[in-house]
Amino acid sequence: MFATQTDGGGTPTQLTRSGNQQAPETFSPDGRLVFTERGELHILSVEIDGGQMRAGAPQPLFTTSRRTTFPSFSPDGRWLAYSNAQSGHFEVYVRAFPDNGRQVQVSDSGGIMPLWSRNGHEFFYRTVDQRIMVVNYTVKGDAFIPQRPRPWYGKRIANVGDNWNLDLAPDGKRFVALMPAEVIEARESRSHVTIVMNFFDEVRRRVAGRAK
């Protein structure tokens, strides 16, 4: 992984070196970088030295038996939400940060891409069939207590696979989301294939015409 200045100045600085694919995900409340590698979450400290970002040694954030992705920290930094496929399909879980070894399942029928509202009692995620769900939660001592998920918006958003297609506004009341295109004309007029026969004969004919 590399880091670079947002204004385009300087040169990219290498943060990690690995033979595996790594993807930066988010920063923890204390300023450490969380990234995924081989389906697991890792964390490393970063600091600015002489205008360049430098990273410490990566450490596993926690270990699971299946792929873990989409980490998201609560506004107060006490909780980490993520998606994990330990049940055979992705569900959304929450565990304390720093980790105490316990996790709470939040989604009940598949879920990815958790997002926290800044109001301190609402939590959102996206289902595998592209619906936005909301969960109210409370915190009692060291316990995270979610209520049953319910639809936040009745319509499905656009399907872009496992890529992000929504984000929560700072007020916690609005989403920016990719929506399916509303096209009136028939699909046949939008999707078609053109087959060109004797392509190279046509190219030679046009080149010869230009030479004259």
Q: For the chain, how big is the Rg over CA atoms in Å?
A: 23
Q: Are strands 33-37 and 22-27 parallel, antiparallel or unpaired?
A: antiparallel
* SS3 label, residue 201: helix
The dihedral sign for the CA sequence 80, 32, 43, 85: positive
Are 108 and 189 contained in the same domain? Answer: yes
Tokens of residue 102, six digits? 């316990």
- Residue reference for tokens 């872009």: 160
**Domain total for the chain?**
2
Q: What's the confidence (pLDDT) of residue 7? A: 83
Q: Which of residues 134 and 3 earns the better pLDDT score? A: 134
Last residue of a domain, one of 43, 61, 79: 61
Last residue of a domain, one of 44, 61, 78: 61
* SS3 label, residue 200: helix
Task: Work out the percent of the chain whose per-residue pLDDT is above 70.
Answer: 94
How much is the mean pLDDT over the chain?
89
Q: What's the confidence (pLDDT) of residue 105? A: 96
Are 204 and 116 contained in the same domain? Answer: yes
Q: What's the confidence (pLDDT) of residue 136? A: 97
Last residue of a domain, one of 20, 39, 61: 61
Are 135 and 105 contained in the same domain? Answer: yes
Q: Are 15 and 24 in contact, with CB atoms under 8 Å apart?
A: no
Are 95 and 187 contained in the same domain? Answer: yes
pLDDT grade for 211, boundaries at 50, 70 and 90: low
Are 46 and 132 contained in the same domain? Answer: no
Give yes or no for residue 50 having a pLDDT over 80. Answer: no
Are 109 and 139 contained in the same domain? Answer: yes
Are 2 and 53 contained in the same domain? Answer: yes
Are 190 and 101 contained in the same domain? Answer: yes
Are 153 and 77 contained in the same domain? Answer: yes
pLDDT tens column, 148-179: 999 999 899 999 988 999 999 988 889 999 99
Which range of residues forms the domain containing residue 118?
70-211
Q: What's the confidence (pLDDT) of residue 24? A: 94
User: Strand pairing partners for 22?
Assistant: 37
Q: What's the confidence (pLDDT) of residue 22? A: 94
Residue 204: φ, ψ to 5° = -65, -35
Are 129 and 147 contained in the same domain? Answer: yes
Burial class (CB in 10 A: 0-12, 13-18, 19+), 125: buried
Q: What's the confidence (pLDDT) of residue 189? A: 59
Q: What is the mean pLDDT of residues 52-72?
A: 89
Q: What is the mean pLDDT of residues 200-208?
A: 86
pTM above 0.85, yes or no: no
Are 206 and 182 contained in the same domain? Answer: yes
